[in-house]
Structure 1
Amino acid sequence: MTTTTISSAHHRSLGDHTWQDEAVCQSTEYNPVDPEIFFPEPDETAKITAAKSLCGQCPVRRACLDAALENNDTDGIRGGLTEEERRPLHEKLAHRLDYSRVNATIAGRDVHLTKAERRAVVQAAYRHGLTEQRLAWLLKITEEHAQKLYRETRRALVHRDLEPATNTIPPPVTDGERLGRVDFGTAA
């Protein structure tokens, strides 16, 4: 019988660089690593392959990739990806919505958040009944700003409940005839 353990994602805190101590690319007396292999020219496929194979063994690969994306680091191989492979991720970063980051923030971790993730934190905090003071502490904002965010969230939830459904199908148009049973589709 196989047992599966699902561990929560470990996100680095803002300004936390301790993850680098666990990186495979750190050169030691027993494991000398040439840092130049992580900055290959586009045609140096052997260096790229060597760097990616090291990254594939790294326990902090995700933290390295996140740090590269969050710091807009566009040079070299980071997190197992080349500059060209990271480019689309850089472009999409502002719209990232990773709920594990949201949950980590709600739990009190100091995690780098995008605008979408910050909005999700406000909504989650509101749903969980966190105080404005706690929200202010989590997002490092003033209590007045947290109150404003809660008012906006409350208003958005009320308006969402009051808005009519916009994706309704209009009734079929007839020339004054009465619609019969065959005029409607069957339920699947």
Structure 2
Amino acid sequence: MTSTTNSPVHHRQLGDQTWQADAVCQSTEYNPVDPEIFFPDPDETAKIATAKALCGQCPVRRTCLDAALEGGDTDGIRGGLTEEERGPLHEKLPSRLDYSRVNATIAGRDVHLTHTERRAVEHAAYRHGVSEQRLAWLLKVTEEHAKKRYREIRRAERNRTLNQPKETALPPAVDGEHPVRDDFGTAA
């Protein structure tokens, strides 16, 4: 029987470039790689296929793709995707919501977050009783900004409970039976 272990996701921390040392595209004495292969012209399909094959073997492929997206890198093949393939991902990046990033941030790691993920961190921190000072530290904002965000979240929570529809009660039973509606919607 084969056993599979899922290791925890390790996201690139702010300013971290150490992942590049593990990249397959790094040229070494024993593994010479021409960096030009990752910057082919659109009609150089052989170069594109070779670069993607190298990326397919890379242990830091996901990190490379994240770095390219988060850094706005639109040139060359990064993370196994061409410029054209990364285009839609660049457009969707601000709305990315990866809960593993949210959880890593709540745990105290300096992870690159999108606007949507930052909002999710604020809500998760509020629900878990994280102090305003800790939230400010996690998101690298002022304590005043963290207080403001918590006030907005409290207000939204309060308004949500006020806007909940009240349960409608059945009219009182007459002789143990509730009145029924006829075909015209009037009480019979």
Q: TM-score, normalised by structure 1?
A: 0.87
RMSD: 1.6
Counterparts in 2 of 1:166-185, with a 5 A limit?
A: 176-178=184-186
The aligned counterpart of 2:173 is: none
Q: How many residues align?
A: 172
The aligned counterpart of 2:83 is: 83
CA distance in 2, matches of 1:21, 1:78: 15
Change beyond 3 A, Cα 1:87–1:179: farther
Name the aligned partner's letter for residue 132 of structure 1.
Answer: E
Name the aligned partner's letter for residue 158 of structure 1.
Answer: R
Q: Which runs of 5+ in 1 are unaligned?
A: 166-173, 181-188
Larger Cα Rg: Structure 1 or Structure 2? 2
Shift of 1:10: 1.1
CA distance in 2, matches of 1:24, 1:38: 12
The aligned counterpart of 1:42 is: 42
Q: Which runs of 5+ in 2 are unaligned?
A: 166-181
Identity of aligned residues (%): 76
Q: TM-score, normalised by structure 2?
A: 0.87
Counterparts in 2 of 1:142-157, with a 5 A limit?
A: 142-157=142-157
The aligned counterpart of 1:102 is: 102
Name the aligned partner's letter for residue 114 of structure 1.
Answer: T
The aligned counterpart of 1:114 is: 114
